[in-house]
Structure 1
């Protein structure tokens, strides 16, 4: 069978518009297409491949576990699920874990749990959820409605009710909106899809205090910021505010689908048998890899490497910007970095991304005008420098096009 990019258009539902090449394999921080062309990967599968591609340890764990037990469902439990859950409990201090298969499912579970807690403890009127403009929490009908980007939920109505979106980092508006009918506030410590926008520390503290005052649960969506991405295992550790429910996914199994929520025994008790579930959630294969990832990424030396490489990458971007003056702002934490384009380059984000691909550098976008750089956490200074050389060529092309 001959496979080309055209095959996608022939057989796939057109939810995506993938780039022109067809990828075939990866190694470390590099990807290769079917023609053998090599690309520097600063996407990591959208912040998923934390240990890079074809990582020997990950491959060995997958091979070993696949030869023993892949799936049994949650009618039974298994040693790998319990091992990973125990490691997460010990690492974070949370008491209970629930596994699913993706970030969207994790957020769906967290939102359902928050409503169930409020229903059990206060009655059905305490059901309102607050989230923030430009947030992204997944694409199930519930999670996409809680997300603060209407373009993702338009046309799928009627959408779930009882959801309010407020300006991000606006304490006064939150004070004037939250009530005793609010069951949960959901937020990202750093908004990813929205443009790599960090929450102000004062705002995070205010959210925590207001949730406590109104007996609402605070949910942190750490799907993108978690598992070492920001230089700590979870980003909440850096802000000194602990959510009632934390959601996790993406890098937790280094590319194998997994997600989960972490919470307290008291809150978890509201999910009684039959109230929620997942056929594949916590399967032995994903959890075996997740257990390996937790051991690797939680190592203080590994997390320091992420911090160091993030600082180096931001410095390299700043150096390029001194020469080309393309970026208005370079921001982020660890290896979750956004470079916002200057106003004169409005509408050129997709063009710049394509130029980067032309020069064999793979990058993501966030919001309408931000380049998103989320390379594998194992990246080195040498690979960063290689990527910056390719980005410089793309910037040269962008400016040449603008002057033509």
Structure 2
């Protein structure tokens, strides 16, 4: 297919260049107020930019080496959810500081004991006058120890069906009753945390959307999360890519045996497939078409691809791959590869496990039934026949 990219004379390019002449070293607040942090957002927080304009803006800012504000959970997940369901007062209060990275956000969704069954919440919130009183525990909360605010889902109606009776709150992380404990990972550091709520009083004005109807907004957050976790780098959009690895191997002039050459070719092919899927998604957006299944498929593929890259670097290191601090390319990137290899197992867990992603693809893309009817003794052949019949 023909991929669409912004032409060199796209008018958005001239506007960005003119703005950069006036702001050669823009601050995060200036970038936020210009609309360039999230140009596709509606004004006044964005520019109502169409996909082609957004691509042109991003290209010009990258070419100028402009450092964008770093606040991934806020800009990628919390902001779009507040835009979708928040009040005008909430948008005015939170979005501008969020875009400027003046207030860091975290996501308080996952809980211990429930695995990927996110809607099976134990954390409760009870309305008490002008506050919600929250009790419970959250787990795997990235950056909770440095966050100013968090997006929090709680159960407000314990008698409602699982996906109902859930509410979506904005939680100030310095509220009395919140305890944060680090969760160290294989890299030897931590950015994940467990968070405890003991009679935490959150103002009722921090409710996003309607009480007991927060699952719809939680799905908005999760949808943006899975797109955000599928960037170019091997580690959820960060770090080296397959192309970077190939360039390293060529520069080091490594003498590879046929098996390692084959593995290197495989990860490069995977990287190209993912790049082309991304271009298909971008092209669909430019043409005003829904992205289709590519976004879900890309999330599932890119996680395993990141693990393949890091495993291959370990193999390239040979016996030295068993110890920390060795770079098979003879450069100073040992820390990058050590961290990447230890972090890579998390890729197929965070943002929806690989198994959950495949279930989503099976049900929403392939039209397969949610599960076999074991009580009625339904076989896979019968399930396939049922799917085919439903598609006729």
TM range (shorter): under 0.3
Higher relative contact order (CA 8 A, sep 6+): 1
If the length of structure 2 is used for normalisation, what is the TM-score? Answer: 0.28
Q: Return the index of the structure with the highest Cα Rg.
A: 2
- Identify, as 1 or 2, the structure richer in strand: 1
